[in-house]
Structure 1
């Protein structure tokens, strides 16, 4: 029987749109539309601009556009820069303990533009990449965060290679080679959370996956067992040291993982590890009309792995604040929301925000929720103590609003998209683009998508 690397490659390139369960199509559509909106908003941030300044324009027929400028660069560079833009706001979706769309969508749009792929092909490539990603995620019982690795670029690079292999219509052998090449290009450290480099993780994963698929197409070679070998990808990055890669049929295309796991759309442009606590505190503040000046202390009981990511306890900038539980709680009380406007340097440095950050305390648990793809505690628990001595306790939150289990409506998804995309496209063009993306299967070519200003 062929090993994991070859099975994953063969699955990716044999997948057809007609094979896809409806829930896979729905998740891919949501992930793509949400990611494009976030990407358009993120493109104005300094990080993507710095990366874009380092690449040259391209007049090649297969050059791809940067969003929203429409500037044409090599497809791999478009995947890189658009990927940085997709992740820089930390507003992109979450699944598989990672950010799948911020890697898959930039790679798929760049290669899809180059190949003039149909909307059906774009959605199929997304599902191919996601299912390979989900399988590798399930084969490792540990959390790679615990080793200091960021799973988004680590596994996302391989998933992007699978997606691009599908768009390039590689044969099974070359698709397996693409995955093997990509396994040597994957990396990213949790230590760089709260800096520009975190968004570079997503961009580099998208770029590396696309590059790996093109190298395989050109005849580049790699080991056909690079994923499962005892010195291969899965073992090298295994916190448990026992990845489940024994030879067998891994069930790709027979056992679908995406319908159960889906994508979790973010309501707040801040690390997902804070979202349940934000939901709890906002509900509590509204129910009891809590004024910031009445608060003596906020206590959050949260998971150890969550706090490993939330490393900035007294942030100085909006970027640092994206990885701060203390800021998330302070912003929720002061502004009664945590949106793009609150993730600014000026807001983070406000005296009332900083005063409340000092009043936030937390305790942690090593217990991890079962049946969810995030390495989080079973629930976040928030308690507010008022200066009067009264203690207010929020109901524990197990799943945040916007998660696959508590999804946003189409109207809520559209509202988020317009808030992001109208900043650069204007509202009419943003609305038209959302409609295109929401019916992506009807698009004849990726080049028909009106994503540029």
Structure 2
């Protein structure tokens, strides 16, 4: 029996597009397409500008890759970094396995895949391979990583991005194992930085580190062959429980597809996913009863202990802080009757009626689950009006857009268009959406119209 690290490496080295169930490649396309949309939406955020300012353009250099959507060429690792920060800057990217799989992997896959000229089918196989690694490692850890202080996107995501890039390079099992081992020593990101610019930096560095790990392994750089299962290795070091399941056995990679159960959860709101089930309930209550802020005495939210730990900002002062505030999520639902990009502004957060509504929110831990997991217990919302009436919504287990309540193609396209409006002309927007959703038909990722320059070039070809 080979160890966990070697099984992961064998899987990465042998995966093929043809072996993957269609439902999983469809999910990968949805996740990657959504990630491109939110990358474009977040491309002008201050965090993205600052990160782009410390890396150097690489136009005219072999292996360069574009920033999305400007088309400016940078080295593939740096393009993955900047695009990763942009993809997570608004916290509007998809959710799964306690983290953000598409923001961790898509910037790496598109940048390195563009540089290598790989096909859409290989890119999709890379995504599924990275997802399956993350899902397996999560299944082996009974604790919740957030409670240890680690951000799963930056920890598990680094292993995933490295595995995905190993697929892009076609690394054999030995070198794929080294890529995973290198990535294991690059994995880090702290929950205490949620609500700051550093959280999206987690995704950017995760994507960049995945590219670097695979490139180093391809060049002959080495790492421990048992890095995942060793008692001083990855699983033990990041374990929230202290008892990860690292027993030597067959984990069924490539036969048991964990993605089929866990899937991709597309976000309907640009806030932490821990707020989404409560937002769905609160918007229903507000709209069904035509509530105004002055009608409400108290808003009572029941959520999971880890969810409330993550939602650390109870009196946010900025839009960035508000992304991790259940109080703000409820207030925006009541005051604006929506929770969108426009509401995540410092000015909206500071409005007196928003502050007043936030003060009416009371939180209670009613379970130990985390939204986005298939078995997470439901969250609850009830509103007490000034007249004494109590309006109670049915408990919400799955948010709209989740794997269990997925958006259809029209819903995905509507979000895509909303994200890119004002940044891409409609023909390019629709062309990019269509190309991403038919990624398996792309012979070379350079055919993707990820920028206006690329779209123009493709139109004239």
Q: Where on the TM-score scale, by shorter chain, does this alignment land: which range?
A: over 0.9
Runs of 4 or more, structure 1, over 4 Å off, are: none
Matched, 1:21 2:21: yes
2:55 is aligned to 55
C-alpha separation between the residues in 1 aligned to 2:375 and 2:209? 26
1:130 is aligned to 131
- Shift, 1:212, TM fit: 0.4
2:407 is aligned to 408
1:156 is aligned to 157
Q: Is the 8 A contact 1:92 1:102 kept in 2?
A: yes
Give deviations 1:109-135, integer Å, cap 9, x for gaps: 011001101111111100010011110
Provide the secondary structure at the position in 1 that maps to 2:341. coil
2:170 is aligned to 169
1:30 is aligned to 30
Q: Against the structure 1 CA distance between its residues 440 and 70, is the aligned structure 2 distance closer, same or farther, given a 3 Å change threshold? A: same
- Shift, 1:366, TM fit: 4.0
- Shift, 1:289, TM fit: 1.1
Q: Is the 8 A contact 1:161 1:208 kept in 2?
A: yes
C-alpha separation between the residues in 2 aligned to 1:325 and 1:19? 42
1:114 is aligned to 115
Alignment of 1:151-230 (within 5 A): 151-230=152-231
TM, length-normalised to structure 2:
0.96
Q: Is the 8 A contact 2:163 2:179 kept in 1?
A: yes
1:6 is aligned to 6
Alignment of 1:307-326 (within 5 A): 307-326=308-327
Give deviations 1:364-413, integer Å, cap 9, x for gaps: 1343379x62795x111111111111111111101101000000111010
C-alpha separation between the residues in 2 aligned to 1:92 and 1:373? 16
Matched, 1:395 2:394: yes
Q: Is the 8 A contact 1:161 1:182 kept in 2?
A: yes
1:260 is aligned to 261
Provide the secondary structure at the position in 2 that maps to 1:425. coil
Structure 1 unmatched runs, 5+: none
C-alpha separation between the residues in 2 aligned to 1:354 and 1:369? 27
C-alpha separation between the residues in 2 aligned to 1:369 and 1:171? 37
Alignment of 1:44-443 (within 5 A): 44-58=44-58, 59-368=60-369, 373=373, 376=376, 378-443=377-442
C-alpha separation between the residues in 1 aligned to 2:347 and 2:366? 33
TM, length-normalised to structure 1:
0.98
- Shift, 1:182, TM fit: 0.3
C-alpha separation between the residues in 1 aligned to 2:351 and 2:199? 25
- Shift, 1:302, TM fit: 1.0
Q: Is the 8 A contact 2:130 2:164 kept in 1?
A: yes
Give deviations 1:292-349, integer Å, cap 9, x for gaps: 1111111101111001110000111110000000000000011111011111111111
Provide the secondary structure at the position in 1 that maps to 2:135. helix
Q: Is the 8 A contact 2:129 2:164 kept in 1?
A: yes
Q: Against the structure 1 CA distance between its residues 198 and 222, is the aligned structure 2 distance closer, same or farther, given a 3 Å change threshold? A: same
